[in-house]
Structure 1
Amino acid sequence: MTSAAGDIRAGNIRAGNGEGTGYLAAAGRARAALESIRRTADARLEPVAVIGASGRSGSSLCRALAAEGLSFRPVVRSAARWAATGLAGEPRLADLTDAPALRAALAGAGRIVSCAHARHAPAILAAAPPGVPLVLMGSTRRFSRWADDHGDGVRQGEAALLASTRPGVILHPSMIYGAQGEDNVQRLAALLRRLPLAPLPGGGRALVQPIHQSDVTRAVLAALRRKWETPQAVVIAGPEPVRYADFLRAVCRAAGFPPPGVVPIPLAPLLAAAPLLRLLPGLPRIRAAELRRLTEDKAFDTAPMRTLLGVAPIGLEEGLALTFPPR
């Protein structure tokens, strides 16, 4: 098997004669053996309990698991919301504040993924079967200097996992875009279509490093397959940071309209004007906390993502092309 696999990698298969036929047969056996090994390893993952399976990241993960032939168990609060995804599978109903129901929903799982908010990590850790590895979804919001309930909850969830003896990881994605129904770049594009000028604090010089949903899903799949000796935290983000103003322009180009001019403006007037946007029909709501975070750099080292998970994220232009397909 090793020889045949080596010949495949080296391109040493010579078809059209008996020797080539022998190589091809050996190569087929090698591939079958490698696939058998992979399937045996994957069998130890199954079933994968997916908490929050009806959400954007959860449903994307379930589609990927189904495509790879891995069995999964959706754990959701609403059977109707799960049915709306169009995915097969009988859901287990459990509210994360209902410890007995959550414990029953997770019983017998080979791996557990939670796409729910990381603040629920203590409840999940308490309900999960002993020793079953856990993959949690956090957020790079945990690094923001602008404290809010979301970021505080992520920090608390990370602390709970790292203080436990549970093998697993909490993945901290940067801004996620490209998911079905996501409201990050889609909402931004809807706003920019209506604006002749884009007022940005500091002229949009702060850095952002968004990640496409497909890379988030690949990272979760890799985390499921990795053997975690101790609990860890790993940031997952796009390949490189860009200025927010350049990100804005890239979104406009991908959505098919010219970007508005960027106007540097102090943060205070924007904060004062934000509530007024709610009075204008057709404009999405912009929260004050979102404006504040536009003033801080969100740039991250993706080396751990690449080395621990083996995921090389796609570039922004490619990701936006997938998000705004040609019409």
Structure 2
Amino acid sequence: MKVLVAGGTGFIGSYLCRALADGDHDVTALSRSGGETPDGVDIATGDVTDYDSIAGAVEGQDAVVNLVALSPLFEPKGGNVMHDRIHRAGTENLLNAAEEAGVERFIQLSALGADPDGDTAYIRAKGQAEAVVRESGLDWTIFRPSVVFGEGGEFVSFTKRLKGMFAPGVPLYPLPGGGKTRFQPIHVEDLVPMLVEALEADEHVGETYEIGGPETLTLRQVTDLVYEAERKGVTIVPLPMPLAKIGLSVLGAIPGFPMGPDQYRSLQFDNTTADNDVVAFGVDSDELTTLGAHLGGR
């Protein structure tokens, strides 16, 4: 199968391209600015916000996987309007190019909680992108993962960066709301085989899967695991959410500060599955990699 992986040089993309190439697929990574690819993977340059730049790369493909995304953890350069430009409009361009080229299969990486009327620009744009996918004439599958971790990912480093924003240079860690926000982290090497199977098996066409890891962890528990793995002491103290809101709103107005009001709002709702759909891929959640095991093996 000829597969174009949009965002193929990114964190998840690099793992997926390698897995697809190892499975004897003909793989091309689409990237806005080039980059390195695993052995056996071609690269094409194109920006999903510019239809003309990607149409040629889509031509001749059997399937397209859309992994292009901005991080929900940080406010993007250009403001939150970029979420709509990248996630909704970018997805629309990929779908239009795929339909024009006669591509049959389309895999969309969305996010837990994706909702056109959601509380953050990221969640709204992801929800609107899902609607565009469902309205297409392609054989589509949508994945909604919780946070994805692994070598090269940003989730672990985010917890340390968050401390640097609120309490630089001191052994105290004021976590917004005491770190009660819950996540269900999934390891990238557990997620990728499911993406591959969705490409190869017709039974996944027209399905939307909520995917999480083997355990639910609060932000406080994640932070404890990260600092314990590095054998560093840190004292976590609750930062009341109203103060966090004021802090992020004020600091978010400073050019270059990476967080803002949307990130405050994202910390007010959990990032967990209602029913973990890993079972649709014959996977027992107890077999998945825990965050603690990953950190302990680094």
1:115 corresponds to which of 67, 74, 91: 67
The change in CA–CA distance for 1:86 and 1:229 in structure 2 (over 3 A counts) is closer
Q: Given the alignment of the two structures, is residue 223 of structure 1 paired with residue 201 of structure 2, yes or no? A: no
Under a length normalisation based on structure 1, what TM-score does the superposition of the two structures give? 0.72
1:82 corresponds to which of 26, 29, 35: 35
- Following TM superposition, by how much is the alpha carbon of 1:235 offset from its aligned partner in structure 2, in angstroms? 1.5
Q: Given the alignment of the two structures, is residue 125 of structure 1 paired with residue 95 of structure 2, yes or no? A: yes
- Following TM superposition, by how much is the alpha carbon of 1:159 offset from its aligned partner in structure 2, in angstroms? 0.6
2:144 corresponds to which of 155, 172, 191: 172
Residues 161 and 231, structure 1, Cα contact 8 Å, conserved in 2: no
Q: Given the alignment of the two structures, is residue 147 of structure 1 paired with residue 119 of structure 2, yes or no? A: yes
| Matching residue of 1:183 | 154
DSSP-derived class of the 2:237 partner: strand
Instruction: Give 2:94's aligned amino acid.
Output: I
Residues 139 and 173, structure 1, Cα contact 8 Å, conserved in 2: yes
The change in CA–CA distance for 1:86 and 1:218 in structure 2 (over 3 A counts) is closer
The change in CA–CA distance for 1:204 and 1:99 in structure 2 (over 3 A counts) is closer
Distance in structure 2 (CA, Å) of the matches to 1:116 and 1:271: 29
Under a length normalisation based on structure 2, what TM-score does the superposition of the two structures give? 0.78
Normalized per residue, which structure has more helix?
Answer: 1
Q: Given the alignment of the two structures, is residue 53 of structure 1 paired with residue 8 of structure 2, yes or no? A: yes
Residues 60 and 217, structure 1, Cα contact 8 Å, conserved in 2: yes
Instruction: Give 1:300's aligned amino acid.
Output: T
Distance in structure 2 (CA, Å) of the matches to 1:67 and 1:229: 21
Instruction: Give 1:207's aligned amino acid.
Output: R
- Following TM superposition, by how much is the alpha carbon of 1:131 offset from its aligned partner in structure 2, in angstroms? 5.3
- Following TM superposition, by how much is the alpha carbon of 1:59 offset from its aligned partner in structure 2, in angstroms? 1.5
Q: Given the alignment of the two structures, is residue 64 of structure 1 paired with residue 19 of structure 2, yes or no? A: yes
DSSP-derived class of the 2:178 partner: helix
Q: Given the alignment of the two structures, is residue 73 of structure 1 paired with residue 48 of structure 2, yes or no? A: no
| Matching residue of 1:266 | 240
Residues 1-327 of structure 1 mapped to structure 2, 5 A cutoff: 46-78=1-33, 81-83=34-36, 85=37, 87-117=39-69, 118-119=87-88, 120-128=90-98, 129-130=101-102, 132-142=104-114, 147-180=119-152, 182-192=153-163, 194-228=169-203, 230-263=205-238, 265-274=239-248, 285-308=258-281, 310=283, 312=285, 313-322=288-297, 325=298
- Following TM superposition, by how much is the alpha carbon of 1:286 offset from its aligned partner in structure 2, in angstroms? 4.2
Distance in structure 2 (CA, Å) of the matches to 1:89 and 1:247: 34
Moved over 6 A (4+): 275-278
- Following TM superposition, by how much is the alpha carbon of 1:68 offset from its aligned partner in structure 2, in angstroms? 3.3
Residues 165 and 230, structure 1, Cα contact 8 Å, conserved in 2: no
Residues 210 and 276, structure 2, Cα contact 8 Å, conserved in 1: no
- Following TM superposition, by how much is the alpha carbon of 1:321 offset from its aligned partner in structure 2, in angstroms? 2.8
CA RMSD in angstroms comes to 3.1
Distance in structure 2 (CA, Å) of the matches to 1:187 and 1:287: 14
Deviation string for 1:45-95 (max 9, x for gaps)? x121111112211112112223333320122222xx324x56554322333
DSSP-derived class of the 2:123 partner: helix
Distance in structure 1 (CA, Å) of the matches to 2:38 and 2:134: 35
| Matching residue of 1:12 | none
Deviation string for 1:180-239 (max 9, x for gaps)? 1x3221131355484422223332223211222222322211222221474222112212
Deviation string for 1:31-52 (max 9, x for gaps)? xxxxxxxxxxxxxxx1211111
Residues 212 and 276, structure 2, Cα contact 8 Å, conserved in 1: no
Structure index of larger Rg:
1
DSSP-derived class of the 1:295 partner: coil
Distance in structure 2 (CA, Å) of the matches to 1:98 and 1:131: 19
Residue-pair matches, total:
271
